[in-house]
Structure 1
Amino acid sequence: MTSSPTTATHLWSLTAVELRARLLAGEISSREVVDAFQRRIEEVDPQVNAIVTHCPERALQAAGRADDTFARTGRPLGPLHGLPVAHKDLVETAGLRTTYGSRAYAGHVPDRDALLAERYREAGAILIGKTNTPEFGAGSHTVNDVFGATRNPYDLTRSAGGSSGGAAAALATGMLPIADGSDMGGSLRNPASFCNVVGLRPSVGRVPDWPSAAPYFPYATNGALGRCVEDVALQLAVLSAPDPRAPLAAPYPESFDLGSSFDAAGRRVAFDADLGGLPVDPAVSRVLALVPQVLAALGCDVHEGGPGWEGADDAFLTWRAWYQVLCFGELVDQQRELLRPNIVWNVDQGRQVTGEDLGRAEKQRDAVTERARAFLATHEFLLCPVSQVAPFDVTLNHPPEVDGVPTRHYLDWMRACSRVTVTGLPAASVPFGFTDDGLPVGVQVVGRPGADADVLRFAGAVQQAATGSRVAPVVGTIGGQREPM
């Protein structure tokens, strides 16, 4: 299995599905694939800072074993055979540093794999490193005191989003073919939008999680990102099987065979331009104003409006605050001086939550969920903004205002995602277009309960129709030449 130097050089530009086909056909080896992506990391990552822990020798050894097994048996190791992956630095990886983006764990090396890492490994993926994240995933801007900030591949002065910002930026620049992420208030969807890739926050329970400090908590979930919906589906097929260690896990996996095409004609869909009155940056609104037109061109029966989001913000913030105390209260008490302000603020807020607050928040969650369920009974999909802002200055903690409205705290600008979180519904971030400044803007596709694969199918149709999203990122120096993707 050999390939020309030119072919090997550009393996990083292929989708995961394309790479998998060539690997299984024996046209290329896993060693060649890993080497191509490692070279791409060395070339690009000093500018972007997406891959924060590298293990090239370990990866090449694993790739060699994959090649030897395939040559001996003629069978792949699994659905992700030979594909490099770098796990988010919140995911425990046995024998490989996992810092959670925190100085308190800067030298931490776990002795076990998290379930997510275990599933990628058992499916034949090759671990090549870890992707950057804000400290403990707190916020939708990827910066921490261990590794610094991840920069947006479309403008290196801007944020890549977060908390899966390292994963999204690595995908956008061809440093990875597949990547995992996690999402509570938009941590997977926002960076996908900021970096012009696809990300799916799956239905609650679709991707089981272990270990977890709060295994019954329904707001946080793992998911996957890719450059196209097919690459996301490839990963979700691996990640979605049930596991007895995860009590909220769906009892059976969903089929993520997306088929060859998806006919959107005649489907009743809705577009909620501001999720019930949220401020949205005019630059984002101008891009998303074309959503109804694109949907109509697909043959959809397009309507405006949404289910009503009253109570969603309070429900999300209250339960999230409670969760932060559960996860990080003891750490704040013991090592406050090592932690960034976001984590300390989260715990301080959570310690003010009362039982009455939680009861009110749960009633609000139930009401929002029921309205969304009823709305989606008559509309197959709901489309809305992913983010209320375009990628912002990388030196900021968060946008100080949105369309002239001051943000009250660092979570305030993420409500286009966090309101959807409350419903537990599957939601994809899909590349849609660019602002006048060349910054990516995604659209959020929300589907019916448990209909994760349908969300991806429809998201793929939208991505294909949104021709303005097909722009390669700037790599190398700021303002440098754009390379083909």
Structure 2
Amino acid sequence: MADQGLVKETACAVVEKLKAGDVTPLDLLDVLETRIAEVDGKVNALPTLCFDRARTHAKALMQKPVSERGLLAGLPVPIKDLTAVAGVLTTQGSPIFKDNIPAKSDILVERLEQNGGVIYAKSNTPEFGAGANTFNEVFGPTRNPWDTSRSAAGSSGGAAAALASGTAWLAHGSDMGGSLRNPASFCGIVGLRPSIGRVAHTPKFGVDRTLGVQGPMARNVEDLALLLDAMSGEHAADPLSLPALPTSFLSAARSGSKPKRIAYSPDLGITPVDPEVKAVTRKAAERFAEAGAIVEEAHPDLREAHECFHVLRAFDFAISKAELLRTKRDLLKPEVIWNIEEGLKLTVEKLERAEAQRVAMTARALEFFDKYDLLLAPATIVAPFPVENRHVAECDGKKFDNYVEWLGIVYAITLACCPALSLPCGFTASGLPVGLQMVAKPRAEAQLLAGAKVLEDILGVRGTTPIDPRPPR
């Protein structure tokens, strides 16, 4: 019988065991199937399993020499339920697609499989990824392993909860307004929103949609870098995709390269933040001084972020979901209807203004990174909230106008076109995880991962997951 102790191993360590022949991809699938049966009922991270498909793929991979099995060498990886996997139920969290089985995989999935990833599950997501709390009418809510009465955030909540509860070593996610970073923060794992084009994916509804990107999630920085290596590279089907870099992201993470000057901002100048979250993230950021870095309080000017994101997100919903509003309105959740309708009301003048604001914020961010190597801020403005709450309605005395506004601290970075990750950096007094958002200039993922690994070593939080799901306290 496969060793359940493998659940606690890092992805990098498990890949080394695969390459050495100490374990097989089939052993790992057995471990995961047992672990999912033990714990997933408590968190609902992986509602769709495809172990038969995974074993068929694993057996085919095992016919090849180990040296030809790719970077992941047969490591299992779950795919977020927004992304197509051939022959596997892909619902997008929507009753409209509750029986949808795609004939063809997204090119992201094909690339992961070419690089030795074995797809065994789909991770839960809110309907169409809308909203930073993972619940839907098809599969219900995903719960936070640290306290199952709490939200795992979203929209990559299933992926984060799987990592935290030991039903995945690595996981795929996506991020428009923090959809990787928020659940990483809430679940005490690491999630990276890469630069535009770093990870190729199949274009849908428009070839130049740049708010949303695909990215890696993991339990530590090295594992995250490994998955980014397996995901990245250009593809002819994605005109925005970037070629792979000559040096791997994993070697960059392990380089020990230290940032010289760090900026920390408790709020990016645009949002309220819970005082406890602010205190935990500030304390973590200041510890960069132990690596010899100068840490100062500063942030780029991102004052237009709320207006700009509201418009560009609404436009994206209009071009991607207007047809569903016309034909399946009764099956859409109210937040999605609102977002599409906001998009359909837009004028060209509003779009012109929003695009100009994004250009200006990106330019100011670039100028900011002439002085600072990294920008640090909270990854979320609150600690994990009750799972029944559809979204955060207020924070530190400020009420929000809509279900998206509480995400300003992450979507401002989306608008500035910067890569950003959430790194576990501590806990609240009640024992809930807090994530530190770490940001670098566009296309500087190597620098970002190196800095994150340096701080991860200093903070000593690595290895706190996986955990058995914990009941409400």
Normalised to the residue count of structure 2, the TM-score between the two structures is: 0.96
Q: Which residue of the other structure, out of 342, 367, 392, is the alignment partner of 1:399?
A: 392
Q: Which residue of the other structure, out of 4, 7, 28, is the alignment partner of 1:9?
A: 4
Q: Which residue of the other structure, out of 240, 245, 249, is the alignment partner of 1:248?
A: 240
Please give the alpha-carbon distance, in whole angstroms, between the structure 2 residues aligned to 1:105 and 1:379.
Answer: 45
Equivalent residue letter for 1:131: S
Inter-CA distance 74–274: structure 2 relative to 1 (3 Å threshold) = closer
Contact 1:295 / 1:462 at 8 angstroms: preserved in 2? yes
Contact 1:237 / 1:254 at 8 angstroms: preserved in 2? no
Question: Which residue pairs with 2:291 in the alignment?
Answer: 298
Equivalent residue letter for 2:114: E
Q: Which residue of the other structure, out of 328, 331, 335, is the alignment partner of 1:335?
A: 328
- Secondary structure at 2:448's aligned position in 1? helix
Question: Which residue pairs with 2:128 in the alignment?
Answer: 136
Inter-CA distance 244–74: structure 2 relative to 1 (3 Å threshold) = closer
Question: Which residue pairs with 2:317 in the alignment?
Answer: 324
Inter-CA distance 28–17: structure 2 relative to 1 (3 Å threshold) = same
Question: Which residue pairs with 2:76 in the alignment?
Answer: 84
Q: Does 1:179 align with 2:171?
A: yes
Contact 1:194 / 1:441 at 8 angstroms: preserved in 2? yes
Equivalent residue letter for 1:8: D
- Secondary structure at 1:87's aligned position in 2? strand
Please give the alpha-carbon distance, in whole angstroms, between the structure 2 residues aligned to 1:254 and 1:399.
Answer: 42
Question: Which residue pairs with 1:54 in the alignment?
Answer: 49
Q: After the TM superposition, which of the residue ranges 414-423 and 455-464 deviates more from structure 2?
A: 455-464
Inter-CA distance 120–405: structure 2 relative to 1 (3 Å threshold) = same
Q: After the TM superposition, which of the residue ranges 88-97 and 238-247 deviates more from structure 2?
A: 238-247
- Per the TM alignment, residue 260 of structure 1 is displaced from its structure 2 partner at its CA by 7.3
Please give the alpha-carbon distance, in whole angstroms, between the structure 1 residues aligned to 2:458 and 2:218.
Answer: 18
Contact 1:209 / 1:215 at 8 angstroms: preserved in 2? no
Contact 1:214 / 1:323 at 8 angstroms: preserved in 2? no
Q: Does 1:123 align with 2:105?
A: no
Equivalent residue letter for 1:330: E
Normalised to the residue count of structure 1, the TM-score between the two structures is: 0.94
Q: Determine what percentage of the aligned residue pairs are the same residue.
A: 40
Inter-CA distance 463–358: structure 2 relative to 1 (3 Å threshold) = same
1:273-284 equivalences in 2 (<5 Å): 273-284=266-277
Inter-CA distance 265–91: structure 2 relative to 1 (3 Å threshold) = closer
Deviation sequence 1:288-328 (CA, Å, 0-9, x none): 12034311112111111111111122111111101101000
- Per the TM alignment, residue 259 of structure 1 is displaced from its structure 2 partner at its CA by 4.9
Contact 1:262 / 1:461 at 8 angstroms: preserved in 2? no
Q: Which residue of the other structure, out of 219, 223, 226, is the alignment partner of 1:227?
A: 219
Aligned residues: 472
Q: Does 1:106 align with 2:98?
A: yes
Q: Does 1:314 align with 2:304?
A: no
Equivalent residue letter for 2:401: R
Please give the alpha-carbon distance, in whole angstroms, between the structure 1 residues aligned to 2:319 and 2:184.
Answer: 28
Q: Which residue of the other structure, out of 358, 363, 369, is the alignment partner of 1:370?
A: 363
Inter-CA distance 215–254: structure 2 relative to 1 (3 Å threshold) = farther
Please give the alpha-carbon distance, in whole angstroms, between the structure 1 residues aligned to 2:246 and 2:343.
Answer: 35
Contact 1:382 / 1:445 at 8 angstroms: preserved in 2? yes
- Secondary structure at 2:296's aligned position in 1? strand
Contact 2:265 / 2:299 at 8 angstroms: preserved in 1? yes
Inter-CA distance 324–260: structure 2 relative to 1 (3 Å threshold) = closer
Q: After the TM superposition, which of the residue ranges 465-474 and 218-227 deviates more from structure 2?
A: 465-474
Gaps of 5+ in 2: none
Please give the alpha-carbon distance, in whole angstroms, between the structure 2 residues aligned to 1:100 and 1:292.
Answer: 36
Deviation sequence 1:364-398 (CA, Å, 0-9, x none): 11111111000001101111111111111100110
Gaps of 5+ in 1: 481-485
- Per the TM alignment, residue 332 of structure 1 is displaced from its structure 2 partner at its CA by 1.0
- Secondary structure at 1:394's aligned position in 2? coil
Please give the alpha-carbon distance, in whole angstroms, between the structure 2 residues aligned to 1:373 and 1:36.
Answer: 45
Equivalent residue letter for 1:388: I
Root mean square deviation of aligned Cα: 1.7
- Per the TM alignment, residue 214 of structure 1 is displaced from its structure 2 partner at its CA by 2.1
Please give the alpha-carbon distance, in whole angstroms, between the structure 1 residues aligned to 2:292 and 2:54.
Answer: 46
- Per the TM alignment, residue 251 of structure 1 is displaced from its structure 2 partner at its CA by 4.2
Inter-CA distance 280–124: structure 2 relative to 1 (3 Å threshold) = same
Contact 1:84 / 1:125 at 8 angstroms: preserved in 2? yes
Please give the alpha-carbon distance, in whole angstroms, between the structure 1 residues aligned to 2:466 and 2:41.
Answer: 15
Equivalent residue letter for 2:4: T
Question: Which residue pairs with 2:139 in the alignment?
Answer: 147
Question: Which residue pairs with 2:14 in the alignment?
Answer: 19
- Per the TM alignment, residue 265 of structure 1 is displaced from its structure 2 partner at its CA by 5.0
Please give the alpha-carbon distance, in whole angstroms, between the structure 2 residues aligned to 1:359 and 1:479.
Answer: 47
Please give the alpha-carbon distance, in whole angstroms, between the structure 2 residues aligned to 1:408 and 1:62.
Answer: 47
Q: Which residue of the other structure, out of 181, 185, 193, is the alignment partner of 1:189?
A: 181
Please give the alpha-carbon distance, in whole angstroms, between the structure 1 residues aligned to 2:133 and 2:216.
Answer: 18
Which structure exhibits the higher relative contact order, with contacts defined as CA atoms closer than 8 Å and separated by 6 or more residues? 2
Equivalent residue letter for 2:84: E
Please give the alpha-carbon distance, in whole angstroms, between the structure 1 residues aligned to 2:60 and 2:389.
Answer: 44
Equivalent residue letter for 1:34: L
Question: Which residue pairs with 2:432 in the alignment?
Answer: 439
Q: After the TM superposition, which of the residue ranges 288-297 and 175-184 deviates more from structure 2?
A: 288-297
Inter-CA distance 92–385: structure 2 relative to 1 (3 Å threshold) = same
1:59-70 equivalences in 2 (<5 Å): 59-67=54-62, 69-70=63-64
Inter-CA distance 118–473: structure 2 relative to 1 (3 Å threshold) = closer
- Secondary structure at 1:23's aligned position in 2? helix
Deviation sequence 1:310-355 (CA, Å, 0-9, x none): 1122111111101101000110110111111111011111112110
Contact 2:81 / 2:93 at 8 angstroms: preserved in 1? yes
Contact 2:169 / 2:218 at 8 angstroms: preserved in 1? yes
- Per the TM alignment, residue 473 of structure 1 is displaced from its structure 2 partner at its CA by 6.0
